[in-house]
Each structure stands twice: as structure tokens, then as C-alpha cells.
Amino acid sequence: MRAVQFEEYGPPSVLRIAEVEAPHAGPGEIRVAVRASGISPGETLIRSGAMRGLVPVTLPYRTGFDAAGVVDEVGEGVTGVAVGDEVFGMTAMTARGANADFAVLAAWAPKPAAWSWEEAGGAAGAAETSTRVLDRLAVDAGQTVLVQGAAGGVGTVAVQMAVARGATVIGTASERNHDFLRSLGAEPTTYGAGLAERVRALAPDGVDAVFDCAGGALPDLVAIAGDPARVVTIAPDLTAASHGVHMSHGAPVDDTGAALGVGADPLAVHGLPIAVALAARGRLRVPVAAAFPLAEVAAAHELSEGRHARGKIVLVG
């Protein structure tokens, strides 16, 4: 089968489509014939070498964490899903490799009928991450949440999931994306200098929680929240600890439910069925910024690195 991988750190041009042996579903897993898979901004940093001191990898490294496709193999002990079912989900964090013709999923849910394959292919990671952070921040009805970087792949889903919890959401984005954020249920504002004043004008009673998807503004975000414990970032911001801010990244869990990995949070895989339920009610869509053929993965990474894509970037075919 074809799979995206890189054998050395570097620019998007180091990515290759390799012919590799197809994986098989182990106990508790399923395999899908992939129809679409997501591009992860975190993996663009891994590929570039920017994260080599924090995220050691074994080369060659196969990319891709979330995918959607048709089940063609069911592992031992798996119930509730059958060959031929349409699903979306995530690989094991230690395996990855979803940017391929076939992928083994460790967590999955039925593909909502309302979603295209492109939407479903980029949904699982965003739904899991959004749920993980919103849970940690204990976001609930009646609260006000600031989502920094609200027009990106995770931000667009986080806005909708927070709104579905009954929260009032303020989202930062460039002005060209403000009407788009309003369509998702957020009150938009621009990022950058003067953010605290703009947020105060929109939320005179204060902000209960801050979900940072973008990075680079933690001092302002802490000032807006009034307490670093009320700020969680998913950006790879090495200054987070010095500001008292938790940097959330997912990891597998052991038999006790503890996360495996320094500073890691357990994966919020319960976010997948939540996403399915919201999609069925027309309350969650997965905006797709662009879809590229698998062979054009380098162009997809280039677009992701530009940090201006509105929604998810996915690979198809």
C-alpha cells in the first residue's frame, strides 16, 4: 500500500509516498480503507525537526493521526462494528500512519451521514482535542470562553463544541474570518495588540476559560483569564510552564487510567460519539480548508505551515 513518510527532517519536500506492507488490526482495533485523512500541524513541526528535542521519533516516520474510511478488518474482541461500515477515528498515538491507503484505528465512531469523507477524515483529532481541553477547563453552560485561533482546524470544532455546552464563545481570527466565526456561533475579534481591551468590551463580566489553539500570546491570555489555571494551550509553546499554563497533548493511558507521557493528558476519545450526536442535530460541522490527493502531501504541509488555513487540511484518495 501507499503511505506518507519522511526519512529525514526538513521542509515539506522530504515527504515521500512509500510502498509499504499494509498493517493489520490487532486486538481492540479495526482497519479501514482510508477515504480521507487529516494533516496535523504538530506533525509539520515534527517533520521540520523543530520538535526533535521534545518528540523523539524513529525514522522513517509515517504521518497521520486521524482518518475516515470503510472498515475492512475487525480485530479480536471488537464489537459493534462490522466490515463495510463507514467510520472515522484515530490511530494509536504510538503508531500513527493514517496518511495511507489503509490505517489501523484504535478509537472510532460511525461516520455521520451529514459529513463528507473530507470532513470525517479531519474530524477525530479536532473532536478529541476540543473535548480534552474543554473538559480540563470544565466549560459548562453560562460560562464565557475565549478561543484563541478560532478559525483553525481545532478552533472551529472547539467553538462549536463549547457553544453546544451552552457557553458564550469569543473567538480570535483575522477580520476576513469574522463572519465565518459568527456562523459557528462565536463572537469574533482580532488577535494581537489590544486583545485584552477588545475582549473586555465583549465580556465585561470577564472570561471563565481560555482555550489557546495558536500560541504566542500567553501573557495576554493569562491576564484575560485572571488565573493561569483557567488557560490551556495546545500550541507547542515552550514558555507555557513559566506562565503557569498547562500545555495539553494527548497520550495513551495505562491500566489505571493515568496518561503515559510527561505532562500528557489521557485522550478524550469520548469526544467522538459526542461529535456524532452533535452532527446528527446539525450542530457540528468540520470546515475543510483544502483537500489534496495523497501524492500532493508536500503541498498540504506547505499550506498548514502558513497558519492561515480556515479549518482542516485533508488528504484524499
Cβ–Cβ < 8 Å for 168, 187: yes
C-alpha cell at 34: 482510508
pLDDT for residue 287? 96
C-alpha cell at 45: 513541526
Alpha-carbon distance 151 to 307, whole Å? 10
> Which of left, alpha, beta for 84 (phi over 0: left; psi -120 to 50: alpha)?
left
- CA neighbor of 94 nearest in space, from 250, 238, 248, 315: 250
pLDDT for residue 254? 47
C-alpha cell at 135: 473538559
pLDDT for residue 257? 45
Exposed/middle/buried for residue 243 (C-beta within 10 Å: 0-12, 13-18, 19+): middle
pLDDT for residue 266? 87
Give the distance from CA 223 to its chain's centroid.
Answer: 26
Question: HSE of 290 in the Cβ direction (CA atoms, 13 Å)?
Answer: 16
Report which DSSP code applies to 63: -
- CA neighbor of 89 nearest in space, from 138, 127, 49, 54: 127
Q: Which residue do the cell numbers 487540511 mark?
A: 313
Q: What domains can be seen in the chain, in order of their start residue?
A: 2-122+286-316 (3.90.180.10), 127-266 (3.40.50.720)
* DSSP E strands, 161-256: 168-172, 187-189, 209-212, 231-233, 246-247, 250-251
Exposed/middle/buried for residue 211 (C-beta within 10 Å: 0-12, 13-18, 19+): buried
pLDDT for residue 237? 81
pLDDT for residue 86? 98
CA distances from 253 to 94, 261, 299, 315 (A): 12, 9, 34, 28
Question: HSE of 191 in the Cβ direction (CA atoms, 13 Å)?
Answer: 21
- CA neighbor of 311 nearest in space, from 139, 134, 184: 184
Amino acid at 27: P
pLDDT for residue 311? 93
C-alpha cell at 316: 484524499
Per-residue pLDDT reduced to its tens digit, 154-193: 999 999 999 999 999 999 999 999 999 999 999 999 999 9
Q: Which residue do the cell numbers 489590544 mark?
A: 194
Report which DSSP code applies to 294: G
Alpha-carbon distance 256 to 131, whole Å? 21
Which residues neighbour 186 within 8 Å (Cβ) at sequence distance 6 or greater?
A: 147, 150, 159, 163, 169, 170, 171
User: Which stretches of the chain drop beneath a pLDDT of 50?
Assistant: 253-262
For 39-51, give one letter per residue: b (16+ CB within 10 A) or e.
Answer: bbbbbbbbbbeeb
User: Considering the entire predicted model, what is its pTM?
Assistant: 0.93
